[in-house]
Structure 1
Amino acid sequence: MRIGRPAVIAIAAALVLSSCASNETPASTGSDEPAESTLSGTLNAAGASSQGSAQEAWISAFQTANTGVTINYDPSGSGAGRETFIAGGSDFAGSDSYLNDDELAGTFASCAPDTLAVDLPVYISPIAVIFNIDGVDELNLDADTLAKIFKGDITTWNDPAIAALNADATLPATAITAVHRSDDSGTTKNFSDYLNQVAPTVWTEKPADPFPYQTGEGAQGTSGVVDAVTNGVGTIGYADASRAGDLGVAKIKVGDEFVEYTAEAAAAVVDGSPLVEGRADNDLAIKLDRLTDDATHYPLVLVSYAIVCEEYADAAQGELVKEYVSYMASADGQAEAAASAGAAPLSEDLQAKVAAVLETVK
Structure 2
Amino acid sequence: MLKYLSVTVLLTLATTSVSALTIKASTTTAATTLFTKMFNEYQKRSNATVDFEPGTSPAAQKAILARSVDFAAAIIPLDENEEVRDAEDVLHIPVALSAVVMTYNVPGLERPLNFNGRVLSDIYFGRIKTWNDERIARLNPGVTLPNLLVTPVYRSDPSGYSAIFTNYLTKVSREWEARVNDSVIVDWPVGAATDSEDKSAKAVQAIPGAIGYMGLSRALKDRLTFGNVQNAAGTFVRPTESSIEAAGNSKVTADGTANITYAKVARAYPISNYIYVLLRREQRYAGRTEAQAKATRDLVAWMIDDGQQYNASLYYGELSTDAANRAKKLLATLTFDGKPFR
Which ranges in structure 2 are unaligned for 5 or more consecutive residues? Answer: 336-342
Structure 1 distance, partners of 2:43, 2:25, is: 15
User: Residue 164 of structure 2 is aligned with which of 157, 181, 190?
Assistant: 190
Distance 1:19 1:356, change over 3 A: same
Structure 1 distance, partners of 2:22, 2:61, is: 19
Structure 2 distance, partners of 1:345, 1:208, is: 26
Structure 1 distance, partners of 2:268, 2:330, is: 28
SS of residue in 1 equivalent to 2:82: helix
User: Residue 251 of structure 1 is aligned with which of 223, 228, 234?
Assistant: 228
Structure 1 distance, partners of 2:172, 2:127, is: 17
Kept in 1: contact 2:105–2:208 (CA 8 A)? yes
Give percent identity, aligned residues only: 25
Residue 122 of structure 1 aligns with which residue?
95
Structure 2 distance, partners of 1:298, 1:16, is: 29
Q: Map 1:203-242; keep pairs closer than 5 Å.
A: 203-204=177-178, 205-242=180-217
Kept in 2: contact 1:81–1:93 (CA 8 A)? yes
- The letter of the residue matching 1:355 is K
SS of residue in 1 equivalent to 2:91: strand
Residue 45 of structure 1 aligns with which residue?
25
Kept in 2: contact 1:188–1:210 (CA 8 A)? yes
User: Residue 144 of structure 1 is aligned with which of 118, 133, 141?
Assistant: 118
Which ranges in structure 1 are unaligned for 5 or more consecutive residues? Answer: 1-14, 25-34, 109-114, 276-280
SS of residue in 1 equivalent to 2:277: strand
Structure 2 distance, partners of 1:264, 1:100, is: 29
Offset, 1:66:
0.8
SS of residue in 1 equivalent to 2:184: coil
Q: Does 1:338 align with 2:312?
A: yes
Structure 1 distance, partners of 2:30, 2:96, is: 9
Q: Does 1:347 align with 2:320?
A: yes
Higher relative contact order (CA 8 A, sep 6+): 1
Q: Map 1:148-163; keep pairs closer than 5 Å.
A: 148-163=122-137
- The letter of the residue matching 1:225 is S
Structure 2 distance, partners of 1:260, 1:351, is: 25
Alignment RMSD: 2.4
Distance 1:141 1:102, change over 3 A: same
Structure 2 distance, partners of 1:352, 1:36, is: 29
Distance 1:234 1:316, change over 3 A: same
SS of residue in 2 equivalent to 1:21: strand
Kept in 2: contact 1:311–1:318 (CA 8 A)? no
Offset, 1:161:
1.3
Higher alpha-carbon deviation: 75-84 or 256-265 = 256-265
User: Residue 296 of structure 1 is aligned with which of 252, 267, 276?
Assistant: 267
Residue 35 of structure 2 aligns with which residue?
55
Alignment length (residue pairs): 322
Distance 1:184 1:175, change over 3 A: same
What is the TM-score when the length of structure 1 is the normalising length?
0.82
Kept in 2: contact 1:95–1:307 (CA 8 A)? yes
Q: Does 1:73 align with 2:52?
A: yes
User: Residue 268 of structure 1 is aligned with which of 229, 241, 246?
Assistant: 246
- The letter of the residue matching 1:284 is G
Structure 1 distance, partners of 2:307, 2:263, is: 30
Offset, 1:309:
0.6
Q: Give CA deviations for 1:121-143 in whole Å, capped at 9, x if unaligned.
A: 11201222111101124211110
Distance 1:319 1:148, change over 3 A: same
